[in-house]
Amino acid sequence: SNPNNDGYSFHYVFSSGCNALQDWQSYMFFYSMKAIGFDGNVTRVASCETEEDASILRSLHNQQIKIMSPRFNLHTTPDYTHLVPGPKYNFFNKPFGIRHFLEHGLELPSRPDLHKRTIIVVLDPDQFLLRLFVRNMTTEDEIWSNQPDHAFKVVDEG
């Protein structure tokens, strides 16, 4: 546990579909988290068109991902690409999939006490971390900001 987190934990969440492209991106995301020595939890939120697709993905996750860490999780959701009439719109999966995870996976907002000291970081499967996030950056040597004098250096509630 990082001393700059003041008792807070991180939950890294990324959204994906149920397809081969995002399977390998997800594998690399999980692997990169393992490589940097992550602390907290990591969850792939996968929006699947069918229950069969979700079942196959759960099996793949257990065989290839969960063996890297018991804190690597999978949360499957319905496919949200057809919420409105017209052509399929893939970008609905991220906001509605994350909402599904927050409500059904983390039991928010009904159980806020469970996650009061949890910082949720939402990323994409094609992103890789080179180092851990920290809550308190007042002792960090390097802070990236276009306004360094006004950069927030501690993540608080709200």
| pLDDT one-digit tens code per residue, 79-132 | 999 999 999 998 999 999 999 999 999 999 888 888 888 889 999 999 988 888
- The span from the CA of 26 to the CA of 6, in Å, is 29
137 pLDDT higher than 80: no
Among 11-25, 33-47, 115-129, 141-155, where is mean pLDDT lowest? 141-155
56 pLDDT higher than 70: yes
Higher pLDDT, 56 or 140: 56
Q: Coil, strand or helix: which one is 26?
A: helix
Q: Are 128 and 32 in contact (CB under 8 A)?
A: yes
Secondary element (H or E) of residue 120: strand 118-123
Cα of first residue to Cα of last residue in the chain, in angstroms, is: 23
- The span from the CA of 73 to the CA of 62, in Å, is 9
